[in-house]
């Protein structure tokens, strides 16, 4: 029997599985209203680029998704699990989401291989040999396997960021969050990290990326989210967004950065 949706219309294909639902999400830092009624659904396999002026709430949005910041109003559901104050749910959601930061946040006293194998061993209880084998496979994928025995500070910024991506992948996340992953890099290293992210996108990873790299957005994003003053003011396909943004702030933003 074909399914019918809520309005009784025939559904020809099943609705996409949602990796992330943000429903009327609000967040304050003291008196400062940092997220205003944010609504965003991300389907499994979708690639979202979040852009907007500095201070518009992009980082706050992405940090709320894995509870690095607590949201105060609305609902956030990741892979079907709703974020609440319950720490078990927070752990569950963090297991499903990989996060890559602007500053690579690798442990400086651990080797590259140890950085990648640590969480699978201690959080997922993966046997060490298996965790290290998987870590080497991901280090190969991001092309830094030859650095596995070194310490983070012996690597270039671009290499460290690719290790950070491999480390996140070692947890087999369903959703990858990127918070300006290339902003701290020297210009010549930006491309190697973006290339890694493009490959990840081509592999079908669900991704939410805060970035100012608009060429990346054009190439990879299914939708571009534009934020201003804590609110999502425009969501569109990249082609439409870049050729004719509707919101005046989006037009101004693109005029300044393109
Ligand atoms: P973006 O990533 O778009 O640059 P952020 O999400 O980092 O913006 O910040 C949004 C606003 O919230 C900014 O005005 C910033 O100063 C403020 N903010 C961010 N983090 C904190 C914090 N921990 N405490 C107080 N204010 C914060």
What pLDDT is stored for residue 16 in this prediction? 79
pLDDT of 85: 83
Cα 45 to ligand 1 centroid, rounded to whole Å: 28
**Quick one: pLDDT at residue 21?**
98
Ramachandran category for residue 100: left, alpha or beta (phi over 0 → left; psi -120 to 50 → alpha): beta
Atom of ligand 1 lying closest to residue 210 CA: 2
Across 159-188, average pLDDT: 97
User: Looking at residue 198, what is its pLDDT?
Assistant: 96
The least confident of 2-16, 25-39, 136-150, 198-212 is 2-16
Q: What's the pLDDT band for 11 if we cut at 50, 70, 90?
A: low
Instruction: Give the pLDDT band (50/70/90) at residue 2.
Output: low
Q: Rounded mean pLDDT of the chain? A: 94
Given pLDDT bands bounded at 50, 70 and 90, which one contains residue 139?
A: very high
Of the listed ranges 79-88, 121-130, 234-243, the one predicted with least confidence = 79-88
pLDDT of residue 258: 82
Query: Whose CA is closest to 135, among 153, 149, 152, 151?
Result: 149
The full DSSP string for the chain is: --EE-TTS-EESSPPPPEEEEEEEEEEEETTEEEEEEEEEEEETT-EEEEE-STTSSHHHHHHHHTTSS---EEEEEETTEE--S-HHHHHHHHHHEEEE-SS----TTS-HHHHHHHHHHHTS---HHHHHHHHHHHHHHTT-GGGTTS-GGGS-HHHHHHHHHHHHHTT--SEEEEESTTTTS-HHHHHHHHHHHHHHHHTT-EEEEE---HHHHHHH-SEEEEEETTEEEEEE-HHHHHH--SSHHHHHHHHHH-
Ligand 1 atom closest to 60 (CA): 6
Query: How many Å lie between the centroid of ligand 1 and the Cα of residue 35?
Result: 10
Helix pair angle (157-169, 187-202), 10° resolution: 20
Per-residue pLDDT, averaged over 37-48, amounts to 97
Nearest CA to ligand 1 atom 19: 60
Nearest to 115 by CA among 127, 125, 105, 124: 105
Please identify, by atom number, the ligand 1 atom nearest to the C-alpha of residue 57.
6
The residues near 226 (Cβ < 8 Å, ≥ 6 apart) are: 51, 52, 232, 233, 234, 235, 241, 245, 247, 249, 250, 253
Long-range contacts of 85-92 (CB under 8 A, 24+ apart): 90/66
Q: Flag whether pLDDT at 31 surpasses 80.
A: yes
**pLDDT bracket for residue 10 (50, 70, 90):** low
Q: Is the pLDDT of residue 103 over 90?
A: yes
pLDDT exceeds cutoff 80 at 15: no
CA nearest ligand 1 atom 11, residue: 55
Ligand 1 centroid distance, CA of 99 (Å): 18
pLDDT of 57 above 90: yes
CA 32 to ligand 1 center in whole angstroms: 9
Q: Tell which one of 26, 28, 33, 34 to mutate to probe ligand 1, the residue whose CB is within 8 A of the most ligand atoms.
A: 34
Distance 34 CA to ligand 1 centre (A): 7
- Residues with beta carbon inside 6 Å of ligand 1? 29, 32, 34, 52, 54-60
Say whether pLDDT at 3 is over 90.
no
Q: Examine the pLDDT at 51 and tell me if it is beyond 60.
A: yes
pLDDT value for 12: 66
Residues 187 and 212 sit within 8 Å (Cβ to Cβ): no
Dump pLDDT digits (tens) for 66-86.
999 999 999 999 999 999 889
For every residue of 153-193, DSSP letters joined together read GGS-HHHHHHHHHHHHHTT--SEEEEESTTTTS-HHHHHHH
Query: Whole-prediction pTM value?
Result: 0.93
pLDDT in tens, 200-209: 999 999 999 9
Across 219-241, average pLDDT = 97
Q: Give the per-residue pLDDT at 13.
A: 72
């Amino acid at each position: 029997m074909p399914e019918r949706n809520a309005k009784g219309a025939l559904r020809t294909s099943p609705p996409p599985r949602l990796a992330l639902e943000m429903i009327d999400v609000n967040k304050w830092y003291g008196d400062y209203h940092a997220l205003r009624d944010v609504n965003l659904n991300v389907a499994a396999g979708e690639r979202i680029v979040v852009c907007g002026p500095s201070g518009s709430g992009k980082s706050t949005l992405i940090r709320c998704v894995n509870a690095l910041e607590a949201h105060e109003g609305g609902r956030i559901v990741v892979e079907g699990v709703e974020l609440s104050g319950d720490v078990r749910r927070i752990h569950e959601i963090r297991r499903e989401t990989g996060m890559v930061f602007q500053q690579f946040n690798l442990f400086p006293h651990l080797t590259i291989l140890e950085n990648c194998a640590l969480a699978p061993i201690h959080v997922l209880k993966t046997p060490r040999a298996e965790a290290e084998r998987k870590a080497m496979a991901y280090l190969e994928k991001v092309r830094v396997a030859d650095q596995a025995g070194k310490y983070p500070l012996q690597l270039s910024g671009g290499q460290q960021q690719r290790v950070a991506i491999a480390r996140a992948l070692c947890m087999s996340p369903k959703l990858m969050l990127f918070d300006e992953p290339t902003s701290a890099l020297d210009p010549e290293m930006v491309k190697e990290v973006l290339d890694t992210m493009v490959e990840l996108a081509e592999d079908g990873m669900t991704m939410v990326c805060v970035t100012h790299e608009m060429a990346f957005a054009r190439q990879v994003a299914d939708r571009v989210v534009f934020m201003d003053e804590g609110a999502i003011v425009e969501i569109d396909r990249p082609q439409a967004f870049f050729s004719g943004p509707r919101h005046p702030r989006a037009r101004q933003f693109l005029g300044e950065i393109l």
